Amino acid sequence: METFVQSIVSGILTGSLYAMIGVGLTVIFGVMRIINMAHGDMVMLGMYGSFLALTFLKIDPFLSIILWIPIAFLIGVFIYRFLLKNIVPAGELNTLLYTAGLSLFIANLVLLIGTGDYRTIKLKYAIMPLRPFGIAVPIPLAIAFGMAILITVALYWFLVRTDTGRAIRATSQEPEAAALMGVNVDRTAIITFALGTALACAAGVLLAPSLYLYPTVGEILVAKCFVIVVLGGLGSVPGAIAGGLLLGVVESLGAVYVSVPYKDAIGFVIFLLVLLFRPSGLFGVGKS
């Protein structure tokens, strides 16, 4: 029983970060129908940002998020405005291929600049896990979880309470109607993409102390991200959050109760099943 609870807790903690990454991807897809294969590499950049902040600036990784979020936002603006915007008219598939190229480029550029060595971040205050109710909770993960919640709440407030956020939601559901209502679709697109990118990077910054860093980690992350986003329903923010948590828990339980090697396969099998039989997501709220 204790193992079970431990699994669920670990799953939720990791899942919260998956959720953040997933929200970034789903919002980009929802508003602009862009399937961003480079999303995982944004997470990777965030992870390296974390690492660099600690190594060279001697700033605690979690604090460095204040630095990296605006930078990530700007990078997102740049990528959309100068690169992607010209590709989107060519169709979803071409955009997918383009972002696949971008992903390869970014990941290998980082590989070139650094080395391919797996790196880890070791924090002095994170050696021993917390043990609330006897469940082991690694400190970095707990902090990451806490910040992920804060960020998600902030995101919710933004989407529901601000004009820009409402514009994003409107464009996501009915782009033409939104344009007719005076929403500046172009500006909304840029902000959405930058927002999604910033979310991914932020998740990376938070995840770095808990995972191995290497330049091509984006590849497996983006694959998981698609699982999350499809599970939760393409374009749905609450769906992505639920999907992320679900994937975290499923992976965690799978690692304990099913054999470790096949646990990654579970996610993909579920992904296929959902795509085939419930394309609007487990909760039926997504676009198919």
Partner 1 sequence: MKKIIIALAILLLFTAPWIVSAPFFVHLMIMVLMWAVLGASWNILGGFTGQVSFGHATFLGAGAYTTMILYLKLGIAPWYGIPIGGLAAALIALPIGFICFRLRGPYFALSTLAVAEIIRLVALNWESLTNGPVGLLITTLPDVTFGERLIDWESKIPFYYIIAIITLGSIVATYIMSRTRLGAYSLAIREDIDSAEAIGINTVQARVAALSLSAFFAGVAGGFYAMYLRYVDPDAVFSIALSVEMVFIAVVGGLTTVAGPLIGAIVLVAFGEIFREIFLVHFKLVGHLIFYGLMMMIVIRYLPEGIWGKLRLWFGSQH
Any residues with CB less than 8 A from the CB of 232 and at least 6 apart, and which? 22, 26, 238, 239, 240, 241, 242, 243, 244, 246, 281, 282, 283, 285, 286
Q: Which residue of 90, 154, 160, 177 would you call a contact of partner 1, by CB under 8 A?
A: 90
Q: Can residue 149 be called a binding residue for partner 1 (CB under 8 A)?
A: no
Query: Between residues 89 and 182, which has the closer beta carbon with respect to partner 1?
Result: 89
Query: Between residues 138 and 279, which has the closer beta carbon with respect to partner 1?
Result: 279
Q: Which residue of 51, 68, 98, 214 would you call a contact of partner 1, by CB under 8 A?
A: 98
Q: Judge residue 156's burial from the number of C-beta atoms within 10 Å of its C-beta, 0-12 exposed, 13-18 middle, 19 or more buried.
A: middle
Q: Which residue of 4, 5, 63, 105 would you call a contact of partner 1, by CB under 8 A?
A: 105
Query: Between residues 1 and 93, which has the closer beta carbon with respect to partner 1?
Result: 93
Secondary structure (3-state) at 131: coil
Q: Can residue 268 be called a binding residue for partner 1 (CB under 8 A)?
A: yes
- Tokens representing residue 170 in the block: 């409107």
Q: Can residue 226 be called a binding residue for partner 1 (CB under 8 A)?
A: yes
How many Å apart are CA 43 and CA 21, to the nearest integer?
8
Q: Can residue 97 be called a binding residue for partner 1 (CB under 8 A)?
A: yes
Q: Are the CB atoms for 239 and 225 separated by under 8 Å?
A: no
Secondary structure (3-state) at 182: coil
State in angstroms the smallest separation of the CB of 89 from partner 1: 11
How many Å apart are CA 125 and CA 287, to the nearest integer?
44
Q: Which residue of 230, 240, 245, 247 would you call a contact of partner 1, by CB under 8 A?
A: 230
Q: Can residue 258 be called a binding residue for partner 1 (CB under 8 A)?
A: no
Q: Can residue 109 be called a binding residue for partner 1 (CB under 8 A)?
A: yes
| CA distance to 57, 72, 191, per residue, from 186 (Å) | 37, 19, 9
End-to-end CA distance of the chain: 39
Binding residues for partner 1 restricted to 111-140, rule: CB under 8 A: 111-112, 115-116
Q: Crossing angle of helices 2-32/139-161, nearest 10°?
A: 40
Beta strands in 59-101 (DSSP E): none
Q: Can residue 82 be called a binding residue for partner 1 (CB under 8 A)?
A: no
Query: Between residues 87 and 139, which has the closer beta carbon with respect to partner 1?
Result: 87
Q: Are the CB atoms for 190 and 81 separated by under 8 Å?
A: yes
Q: Can residue 193 be called a binding residue for partner 1 (CB under 8 A)?
A: no
Q: Which residue of 8, 88, 137, 223 would you call a contact of partner 1, by CB under 8 A?
A: 223
Tell me the site size for partner 1, rule CB under 8 A: 42
Query: Between residues 61 and 232, which has the closer beta carbon with respect to partner 1?
Result: 232
Q: Catalog residues that contact partner 1 under the rule CB under 8 A.
A: 35, 83, 86-87, 90, 92-94, 96-98, 100-109, 111-112, 115-116, 219, 223, 226-227, 230, 259, 261-262, 264-265, 268-269, 271-272, 275-276, 279
